[in-house]
Structure 1
């Protein structure tokens, strides 16, 4: 099984878009802002500063996550949505939940904020895991490499 770079790019873009929707007024913007305990002045500063650099870095981060996840999917031989979901879940539990737990505990942030953040990661990793497992590579196109 080879890494399908087009699938990685699509998975990364989907994860990035999920983040934009997750933290938007459509889903969790209001509770996120409230749980961040920003003053009106801090919120205004965050909103007026623009987020060009942050958006670009978030997209780059999504690409790294998708690429690493693709390697795990390849390593375990996941070729169905179910096995891709399992890979995404176990990586979420083993890395996201644990590392965010330590941060949550030592920063003293509200538990709801922790749940919003790890929830985004869970949905994203599950979706990307399923997508990366089922998206079959067309060998003739040359988008993959053997590693």
Structure 2
């Protein structure tokens, strides 16, 4: 990147600290999301999330107020991320809660909020960690390449099972 000023060591240190702080925040959010998912009966949680998805789509199509409602693509993205995250957690844990228990709707709402925050932190982490990268000058991949790889990976999550 010609014409851009070189980072000083203290600039890089600040970027590394920022990226590390964001990574730690992501880990806390991810552990909280995992705990919320595992605290719910799986089939009931899956049914609840799918029903909320359908209600969101129905309310958008019947409201007629497209200016104040989120775009359909955002609704799909939100619930696909939740479904994929739930799948990842369930596939890593063999001891799941009994489906006879009732779902805690407040915890599901908290889960959806945490997943939205985790998605935002992932974007910021991708930017910060790529900006902290020091190019070796040997023609290897650059900070731009690292950023694009990380952001592409994070945007694909929740969308990899779409119909071709």
Fold-level similarity (TM above 0.5): no
Is the helix fraction higher in 1 or 2?
1
Larger radius of gyration: 2
Structure scoring higher RCO (CA < 8 A, sep ≥ 6) equals: 1
